[in-house]
Each structure stands twice: as structure tokens, then as C-alpha cells.
């Protein structure tokens, strides 16, 4: 489905990113594997993870190049895209998958915890997407696939930085879809479910937690790759500005913010009349403080 195309996949040294890079290569794309080889919290650097992904692709007959530049910097993001141009002469697909975690309860979160996660996830998605935009515009084609998360779409404990970044990516993707539609460029999001390095820190101390982790471990990273390949392909030429979730063998089209219910008062509102009339009228449609596991309350199928 991707024959003749060139894909840049960030965070492709392991987990979901690696599986997407391999799947795209097996679908005919030449792939730039971008990964700085850092720890889960963004520390340390190594080319080994990217090299391992390239070995897998080449052993299976595919073609790949490596970039170890950081997504979290404007200049280095330009170099990531330039790697595709230097190695393969074009770029057709950008998968914004790179990420780190600095999970901590909100009232203990430091500015460094906040900024480091925002810089990689949200700023990185913008920097790499923007670097590719000029090439996409010039050739009147291109596809972006961004990784969001139900931590942002729904909510989760101890992830204010990650949740904010991931929900910001949804807005970024929609804006790209709107602004770049005239150039035949598409932009979509995937909220992946997978047991990987990013989820291996989930507690498994109680019996209930252990049961939950056992279910999560069924959801291997490769289960998310087919949807990414499809969204990057010409088969999805009419799909843009959408948010999907991929969970084991399930694919969901997620809702986007729209009005749920309204109230009107011709003479206008006061704080008192809001309390007496508007709030009670709207209460039945107000959303609970749900987390992802509350919304996706059934076992993966």
C-alpha cells in the first residue's frame, strides 16, 4: 500500500514506533527511523535502538535510514526531514510517535516535568510536521499520523503534562488538516493501546491491578501498525482530521468536542440564575471525572 513512498517515523527505536516503521517498510515504503535512544524519561542517548529497527527492516528485505536527532528542537527536526531528502529524495509520510513520560501528581509536578514532556510530544510534533510541510506543499501530497492518547482524550491520574500534550496534538492535527487540505495533505490521530515501555510502569501490586496488567499485555505494539499504514496510504485519501483509537483487535472512531446541550435566557444571565436554572438544566449532560479504564471498561477483544 505504500510502494514508492518515503516515511519518517519518530520514536521508532522500539515499541509502537518500531512496529509502525517495520510495517510501513513491509508495505513498500522506504523509512527514516528517528530515535535518540533515550530512556523512558528522556535521559541518555544511544543509536542502538534505531540500529536494531533498521536491522529488522533490512533482514525482511526493506530499506531504511537512521536519524538520531531530537524532535524537541526546531533545527534538529529540520535535520530529521532532511535525512529523508538526502537518503531517498522525498518525504511522503510523517508519523509523530516520539515520546517520554514524567508521571507525577499535579501538585508535585515541577516545571521541568512539564516542559520536558510538552517539548517532546507537542512541540516535537509541530517541529517535525512543520519541517515536512514545505515538501508536502511543493509536491501537493502528504500524510501525517500523530499519536495521541486516551490520557488526553479522556483523562488519567498523575499525567497532567502528558495529557495536555496529547490533547494538544489532536488540535494540532485538526489545524494541519484544515490548513493543508488545499495541498492534498491529510492529518489524523491514533490513540494507541499497547503494552510497551510507555505502559510498563503501570502498578501491578494488588490483585485487581495485576489482572488489569495481564489484559494490557495482550495488546502488543504491532496491533497499532495496520491502522497507521492505512492512514498513511492513498486508500485513506478522503480521511483527514479524524481521531482513531486502536485497542487489540478493535478500532474506534473517537468523538470530537461538540455542543452537548444548551440553555437560553432572553434577558441574559446572572450568577444566581445560572445556579438556579442553567446548571441544573445542564447537569444531566455533564461528564464524570472518568479515566480511560472507566470509558473502555470491557476486556480487549
Catalytic hit among 144, 162, 183, 230:
162
To the query of whether residue 162 is one of the catalytic residues in this protein, the response is yes
Sorted by where each begins, the domain ranges of the chain are: 6-256
Q: Which CATH architecture has domain 6-256?
A: 3-Layer(aba) Sandwich (3.40)
DSSP H/E element including 19: helix 15-26
Query: Would you give per-residue pLDDT tens digits along the chain (301 residues)?
Result: 999 999 999 999 999 999 999 999 999 999 999 999 866 665 655 678 999 999 999 999 999 999 999 999 999 999 999 999 999 999 999 999 999 999 999 999 999 999 999 999 999 999 999 999 999 999 999 999 999 999 999 999 999 999 999 999 999 999 999 999 999 999 999 999 987 555 555 666 787 767 767 777 778 899 999 999 999 999 999 999 999 999 999 999 999 999 999 999 999 999 999 999 999 999 999 999 999 888 988 888 8
Q: Global pTM?
A: 0.91
| Cβ–Cβ < 8 Å for 301, 247 | no
CA proximity to 91, closest of 173, 17, 35, 31: 31
What is the C-alpha separation between 123 and 165, in angstroms, rounded?
9
Instruction: Give whole-number Cα distances, 136 to 94, 181, 188, 242, in Å.
Output: 10, 11, 15, 19
| Cβ–Cβ < 8 Å for 178, 128 | no
Amino acid at each position: 500500500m505504500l510502494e514508492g513512498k518515503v516515511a519518517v517515523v519518530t520514536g521508532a527505536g522500539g515499541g509502537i514506533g518500531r512496529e509502525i516503521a517495520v510495517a510501513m517498510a513491509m508495505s513498500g515504503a522506504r523509512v527514516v527511523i528517528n530515535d535518540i535512544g533515550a530512556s523512558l524519561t528522556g535521559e541518555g542517548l544511544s543509536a542502538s535502538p534505531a540500529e536494531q529497527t533498521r536491522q529488522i527492516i533490512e533482514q525482511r528485505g526493506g530499506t531504511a535510514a537512521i536519524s538520531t536527532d531530537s524532535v524537541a528542537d526546531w533545527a534538529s527536526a529540520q535535520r530529521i526531514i532532511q535525512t529523508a531528502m538526502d537518503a531517498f529524495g522525498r518525504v511522503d509520510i510523517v508519523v509523530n510517535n516520539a515520546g517520554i513520560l514524567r508521571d507525577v501528581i499535579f501538585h508535585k509536578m515541577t516545571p521541568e516535568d512539564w516542559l520536558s514532556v510538552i517539548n517532546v510530544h507537542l512541540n516535537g510534533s509541530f517541529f517535525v510536521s512543520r519541517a515536512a510541510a514545505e515538501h508536502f506543499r511543493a509536491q501537493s501530497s502528504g500524510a501525517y499520523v500523530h499519536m495521541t492518547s486516551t490520557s488526553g482524550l479522556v483523562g488519567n491520574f498523575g499525567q497532567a503534562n502528558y495529557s495536555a500534550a496529547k490533547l494538544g496534538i489532536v488540535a494540532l492535527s485538526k489545524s494541519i488538516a484544515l490548513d493543508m487540505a488545499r495541498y492534498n495533505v491529510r492529518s489524523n490521530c491514533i490513540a494507541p493501546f499497547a503494552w510497551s515501555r510507555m505502559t510498563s510502569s503501570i502498578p501491578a501490586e494488588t490483585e485487581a491491578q495485576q489482572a488489569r496488567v495481564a489484559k494490557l499485555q495482550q495488546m502488543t505494539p504491532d496491533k497499532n501498525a495496520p491502522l497507521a499504514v492505512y492512514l498513511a496510504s492513498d486508500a485513506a485519501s478522503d480521511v483527514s482530521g479524524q481521531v482513531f483509537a486502536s485497542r487489540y483487535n478493535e478500532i474506534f472512531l473517537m468523538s470530537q468536542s461538540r455542543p452537548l446541550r444548551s440553555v437560553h435566557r432572553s434577558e441574559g444571565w446572572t450568577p444566581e440564575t445560572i445556579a438556579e436554572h442553567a446548571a441544573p438544566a445542564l447537569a444531566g449532560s455533564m461528564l464524570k471525572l472518568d479515566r480511560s479504564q472507566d470509558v473502555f471498561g470491557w476486556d480487549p477483544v
